Structure 1
Amino acid sequence: MKYWSNPDYTRIALYTRTKVRYRVGRLPADRKRRKPERLYVDLVGCDLGEEVPARTSVKDGLVSSIRAAEKGPNTVRVVFDCGRPFTQKVVPLENPDRILVDISRVESAPQVAKARKRAGDSRTKAPDKRLVAKIKRASKPRVSLSVMAGLKIKRVVIDPGHGGRDPGAIGPSRTFEKKITLDIARRLKRLLSEKSGLEVLLTRNSDRFVPLEERTAFANEHRGDLFVSIHLNAHTNRKFHGVETFYLDITDDRYSIRLAARENATSEKTISDLRYILADLATKSNTDDAIHLARLVQRALVRRLRQGWKGIKSLGVKPALFYVLIGARMPAILVEASFITNSKEEKRLRRASYRQAIAEGIWRGIVSFIREREKFYASGR
C-alpha cells in the first residue's frame, strides 16, 4: 500500500498479487464513538500480506488514517478514516495489479481559495469584472474558466513515458521507447527553462520505473500548471506512421481504445469498463484547456518536423482514456511523437536532430498556448 497527499485530494494505491474483485462503500459517522464518516474498499479473493500494517497514520487534513484487516475468508477490508466531507473515485489498474483510490475534498469555493492561499498558491486571484463581461460576450473560440480567472502558467511537468523495467514499445532495430522519450523530455525541459523562463519538472530524470498513478500525483503535489506526457506510438502494422496528440476524455473510437490499452498495459475490456467509472472524472477535468493545448502542440510539432523531413503525417488530436492523465489537476495532454514500429520513423528517432525537432515543436505549441492566454487576459484590462 502507498499513498500520496495533495492539497485537494489523497491518492492511495492498494497492490494485490493478482487481479481481484472489489466492493466500495461508506460507514456513517459515529458521534458517540467520535468516529468520522469512513470509506471502505473490500478486496475479494485475497489475504492480508504480512508487510501491510494494521493501521497507517496519514493525517493530511483529509484522511486521518488507513486501516486494513481480514474480513471473513479471502476478503480484506481497507478503511479510510476521513476527517471532512469527501468524494471518491476507485479505479482498477493492471501490470502490476492494484486498486487506485482517489479521495477528494468537498468544499465551497471560498474555502478552496482560502486553503490555497494558506498553501502559497497564487492562483486564487478574483477574475477582473471587465474581463468576465468580455468572456460572456465571447463565443469563438470557447474561453475556459481558467482563462477567465487569469491563471498564470509558471510551472510545467514533463512526463517521459515508461522507464526502468517498462521499456515501452520496441522498434524493429531494438530502439527502446523509454530511452527516446527521456531524451526528448530533457531537450524540452531545456527549451522551456532557458528560452521561456518556466520552471520545469520531470516525473523521471533517469531510467527508472514510475507507476502511472505516481506521475499525475507528482504533478499535483508540485502544483504544475501544465502536464505533458511524451510517448512513441506503436502498431502491429509497421506501415503506420505519423504524429498525434491526446487529451483525457470518453471515446468510442476503437483505435484510441487500443492505443490506451497498450499505454496503460491493460486490456481493451478494462478500458471499455472504465468508460463508466471515469465518465464523471473525465468531464470535470481541465478538458477545454487540454483540447486547446493539444491542438496547438499538434500543429506546432507537425510544422516543425515538416521543415526538415518529408512524409510527416498529422493524425490529429483525439480523446482517450490514458491512466497517466487521470486525476491531473491541470490541463494534461499525451503526445505520440512518431511510430517507433515504423522503420523509417524509428531511424529518424535515433537521430539527435529529429529528437531536437520534436522537442522544439512541443515547446512552440506550449509557448503559443501561454501567449494566447496572456494576450487574452491582458486585453481585458
Structure 2
Amino acid sequence: MRSAIIKISFTLFALSALLLASAAQAKNKINGVRVWPSPESTRVVFDLSEKPEYSYFMLKNPLRLVIDLENTSKLKQLPSLPKEHKIVEKLRYSQAKSRNSTRVVMELSRTAKPVIFALAPTGPYKDRLVVDLYGQQKSLYASKSKQSKKRELVKDRDIIIAIDAGHGGEDPGSIGPSGTYEKNITLPIAKRLARLIDKEPGMQARLTRTGDYYIKLNTRTARARERQADFFVSIHADAFSRPEPRGASVWILSLRRANSEVGKWLEDKEKHSQLLGGAADVIKDTANEKYLAKALLDMSMDHSMKTGFTVAEEVVSELKKVTKLHKKRPQAANFGVLKSPDIPSILVETGFISNPQEEKQLKTSYHQQRLANAIFKSIKRYYQQNPPDNTLFASLKNNKPVRHKVQRGESLSVLAARYGTTVSALKKANRLTKNTLYIGQVLTIPKA
C-alpha cells in the first residue's frame, strides 16, 4: 500500500515537472536573421514566430549593441558577416537574463545610432524585429549639400539625373511566377541606364541605391535633392493579381487617386512596400502632407509636373520600339516617390513581372539594356531641346543649329509652337516655298 502511494506521488511529481517545464518553454522563436548592409547604415532583421518582447542597451569599450528577447528561443546559428562590413563586425549570443530569454550582441566597428522597432506580419513575412544602425555620416552627399544649399552657377555644368531602383533589401517588391524578385530586376536596369548617362558629355547619373538594401521613399527623393538633380526617374517592374496583363508603362504624379484598376493596385503596392521596409515611413508621410499641400501652391510643382509629363511622352515613344506597351499614353497616380515639388519625376514600369513571358524577358541582359537605352534616349532628347541654363547642353544648343526629323502628324505650325518660333522663320531657314512637309524630312530649327 505504502509503495503504491509512493509510486502515485512520484508519478504526480513527474507530471507536475513536465507541466512546469512545458509552461516555462519559450513561446517565441527566432526563425531566421537577415543582414542588409548599405553605404550609410545596416539593417538586421529577426524573423520571429510571434510578436517580440524586447529591450536593448549600448555598451562601450568595445562598442556593442545588446538586445534581449524575452521568452524567445535561439536560432541555432547566427549569420556571419563579410569582412568589408562597415558598421557591424560580428553577431553573437551572450548570457541571457533568464532561462528562456535570448541575448544577442552586435559588435560594432564605429559609433552608430540604433533605431529598433517591431513589424507585424505582411506579405511573405511573419512578425519581425528590425534593427537599423545609422552611422554618424548619414549621407554620402551630406558634405556637398552643406557647402551650398543653392546650385552654384557653374558654366557648362552637367545635367544631373537621379535614378531610383525600386524596392530593395527587406522589400523585394513584386514576385514573379518563377520566384523572381522585382528588386533584382530594377537595380540592373538602373545601373545600365546610369552607365549610358555617364558616358554622355554634359550628363551625369546618381543612383539612389547601389546594392540590395532598403531605402525609405522620403530618403530616395532627399538623395536626389542633395545631389541637386535636374530629373528623377524611378525604375519598377509591374505586377497584377492576374497573370494576363503585360507591357511597359510610364507614370506621372496625379494629385488624386488613380482611376484605373492597375493604378490603384500600384498605389496599394507602394504602401505595402513601406510596411515591408519599415512602419516609420508611413508615419512620416502623414506628417509631410502639410508640407506637400503648401508646396503645391508653388510654381515649381507646376513646372515639375509639366516637365515630367513631357519626358514621360518621350519615354513612351521610345519604349514602344523595344517592348509591348500596357498603355500608349503616360498614366497618372498618387505615388509618394513622385511627390518632390522641386524635381521633375517619372516612374517607369518596365513590364509585368506577374506575366510569365515578361518575367522571363525582364531577367535577360539583352532586354534590360534595350529598356535602359530607350529611357536614356528619351531623357537626352528632352534636355537637348530644353537644356537648363549654364549647362553644356545649353551651350551646345546656342552654338549649334537644332535639327528635327519630321514625324507623322507634324506640320510647320505644330513645330513652330513646339520650338518657340514662327512658320515664316521655319520656311526661311529651310528655303521652303510651300507649307507641305513629308515624313522623314530633316528641318533646321532657327533660334527663337
TM-score class, shorter-chain normalisation, is 0.5 to 0.7
Q: Which amino acid aligns with 1:224?
A: A
Q: Is the 8 A contact 2:252 2:312 kept in 1?
A: no
Matches within 5 A, 1:187-336: 187-255=192-260, 256-265=263-272, 277=290, 278-282=292-296, 284=298, 285-300=300-315, 302-309=316-323, 311-327=324-340, 329-336=342-349
**Match for 1:122 among 132, 144, 152?**
152
Alignment partner for residue 348 of structure 1, among 348, 357, 361?
361
CA deviation string 1:159-196 (max 9, x = no partner): 10001111001111111110110000000001111134
Quick one: which amino acid aligns to residue 267 of structure 2?
A
Amino acid at match of 2:386: R
Letter aligned with residue 266 of structure 2: L
What is the root-mean-square deviation of aligned Cα atoms in Å?
3.9
Q: Aligned to 2:367, what secondary structure does the other structure show?
A: helix
> Partners in 2 of 1:196 and 1:288 — Cα distance?
25
What residue ranges of structure 2 are gaps of 5+ in the alignment? Answer: 1-54, 59-119, 123-127, 129-144, 276-281, 388-392, 399-445
Q: What is the alpha-carbon distance in structure 2 between the residues aligned to residue 51 and residue 290 of structure 1?
A: 46
Counterpart-to-counterpart distance in 2, 1:119 and 1:246: 29
Mapped pair 1:361 → 2:366:
no
Change (3 A) 1:326 1:124: farther
Secondary structure in 2 matching 1:330: coil
- How far apart in 1 are the matches of 2:297 and 2:245? 31
Which residue identity does 2:209 align to in structure 1?
Answer: R
Higher RCO structure (Cα 8 Å, ≥6 apart): 1
The answer as to whether partners of 1:293 and 1:369 remain within 8 angstroms in 2 is no
Alpha-carbon separation, structure 1, partners of 2:344 and 2:169:
27
8 A contact 1:249–1:283 mirrored in 2: no
The answer on whether the counterparts of 2:237 and 2:351 sit within 8 Å (CA) in structure 1 is yes
- The answer to whether the aligner puts 1:372 opposite 2:385 as a matched pair is yes
Question: By how many angstroms is 1:372 displaced?
Answer: 1.4
1:342 is displaced (CA, Å) by: 1.3
In structure 2, how many angstroms separate the alpha carbons of the residues matched to 1:283 and 1:235? 34
- TM-score normalised per structure 1: 0.55
Amino acid at match of 1:166: D
State the alpha-carbon separation in 2 of the partners of residues 337 and 372 from structure 1: 25
Alpha-carbon deviation of 1:117?
A: 10
Shift of 1:308: 4.6
Letter in 1 for 2:327: S
Secondary structure (helix, strand or coil) at the match of 2:235 reads: strand
Rounded to whole Å, the distance in 2 between the matches of 1:152 and 1:247 is: 27
CA distance in structure 1 between the aligned counterparts of 2:271 and 2:309, rounded to whole angstroms: 20
Deviation at 1:323, TM superposition (A): 1.8
Q: Secondary structure at the match of 1:158?
A: strand
Q: Which one-letter code corresponds to 2:307 in the other structure?
A: H
Most deviating of 348-357 and 256-265: 256-265
Over 3 Å counting, the alpha-carbon distance change for 1:118 and 1:323 in structure 2 is closer
Q: CA deviation at 1:198?
A: 1.5
Q: CA deviation at 1:200?
A: 1.1
What TM-score results when the alignment is normalised by the length of structure 2? 0.47
Query: What amino acid is aligned across from residue 121 of structure 1 in structure 2?
Result: R
Residue 112 of structure 2: aligned partner:
none
**Separation of aligned partners in 2, 1:258 and 1:283:** 28
Deviations 1:99-131 (A, max 9, x none): xxxxxxxxxxxxxxxx99965623599xxxxxx
Rg (Cα) greater in structure: 2
Q: Structure 1 residues 274, 251: CA separation in 2 closer, same or farther (over 3 Å shift)? A: farther
Distance of 1:347 and 1:117 partners within structure 2 = 46
Question: For 2:386, what is the secondary structure of its paired residue?
Answer: helix
Q: Distance in 2 between matches of 1:312 and 1:169?
A: 19
Gaps of 5+ in 1: 1-48, 53-93, 97-114, 126-150
